Structure 1
Amino acid sequence: MAWISDKATSNQLKEHSNNVRPNDLESLLGRQQAIEEKVKGSGRLRRFSTDIKLMFSLIRDYWNGRYRAIPWKSIAAVAGALLYVLNPLDLIPDLIFGFGLLDDAGVVALCLKLVESDLHRYAAWKEHQQATAKTPSDN
């Protein structure tokens, strides 16, 4: 029997995503290090560390206006998932040893599933930007 149902995970992600406003992104970016430290210290979340770094990169590029080829719904889902991870008193409080981060991992996994194609497009765009920056111009 699962400790947290798919429906409960979906409801938590939806609730957090629906409450995200554009100005919340700047605050979220300021908390990146705290979230990444929490992820590093958790066996349940550690496997998502690369994805979470990509999610923060996406939020940063969106916030700074460099990347806007993504629906707000996807940005809100990513931000909502990251804010959920930051909240220690969520569906299963993080203080419950061994189980407290199950819901966090479930919310992140669901978010990744929902925005997978948007993240792939962003990652390709980001890779292209980095390759273009390294290539000498043809002047």
Structure 2
Amino acid sequence: MALFNNKKAKSELEKRQKRFSKKDLLSLVSKEKTLKEKFTRQERLKMHFSDFMVLFAMLRDYATRKYTKVPWFIISSIGAALLYVISPLDLIPDFIPFVGYLDDATVLAFCLKLVYKDIVLYKTWKEETHPKTASTS
């Protein structure tokens, strides 16, 4: 099995991002509990839990039209990455010991680099509009 690398992560994210729809967004928002469990149980994903929380809050706020100052490309990239994480059909099956979540973590890390500026803008908006909940969402 070839090592999963950034080039493969980029390709996989781009492929899934192009297919991501508003229907997928609404479905993903309803899977918060499943995603939280995955991010808290799997070692390779635990270090990204706080990132996940911000990404998920951004998706939820976009879906509920509270925050729409972000291009669809960014939302669909985040959504595609999170769907990849919970998908049983990914490039390295999750049940393989030691490497099963390597691809999930790599796709997520690539997505974080891609959307970094938008995350900063979102956090600023969240702090300005909801100062008490910004750090917990």
- The TM-score with structure 2 as length reference comes to 0.92
What SS is found at the alignment partner of 1:97?
coil
How far apart are 1:132 and its partner, in Å?
8.4
How far apart are 1:88 and its partner, in Å?
2.2
What SS is found at the alignment partner of 1:89?
coil
Name the counterpart of 1:41.
41
Instruction: State the 4+ residue runs in structure 1 displaced beyond 6 angstroms.
Output: none
Distance 1:3 1:39 in 2: 22
How far apart are 1:97 and its partner, in Å?
1.1
Distance 1:42 1:101 in 2: 8
Name the counterpart of 1:28.
28
- Give yes or no for contact 1:88–1:95 (8 Å, CA) kept in 2: no
How far apart are 1:117 and its partner, in Å?
0.2
What SS is found at the alignment partner of 2:60?
helix
- Give yes or no for contact 1:4–1:103 (8 Å, CA) kept in 2: yes
Q: How many residues align?
A: 132
How far apart are 1:37 and its partner, in Å?
0.3
Distance 1:45 1:98 in 2: 12
How far apart are 1:10 and its partner, in Å?
0.6
Greater Rg by CA: 1
Distance 2:132 2:58 in 1: 18
Segments of 5+ residues of structure 2 without an aligned counterpart are none
- Give yes or no for contact 1:29–1:60 (8 Å, CA) kept in 2: yes
Identity %: 38
Matches within 5 A, 1:62-73: 62-73=62-73
Name the counterpart of 1:74.
74
Segments of 5+ residues of structure 1 without an aligned counterpart are 134-139
How far apart are 1:3 and its partner, in Å?
2.2
- Give yes or no for contact 1:81–1:111 (8 Å, CA) kept in 2: yes
Name the counterpart of 1:94.
94
The more displaced of 99-108 and 15-24 is: 15-24
How far apart are 1:129 and its partner, in Å?
1.0
Matches within 5 A, 1:107-126: 107-126=107-126
- The TM-score with structure 1 as length reference comes to 0.90
Distance 1:132 1:39 in 2: 24
RMSD: 1.5
Q: Provide, for residues 35-55 of structure 1, a one-character-per-residue CA deviation record: whole Å limited to 9, x for no partner.
A: 110111111010100110111
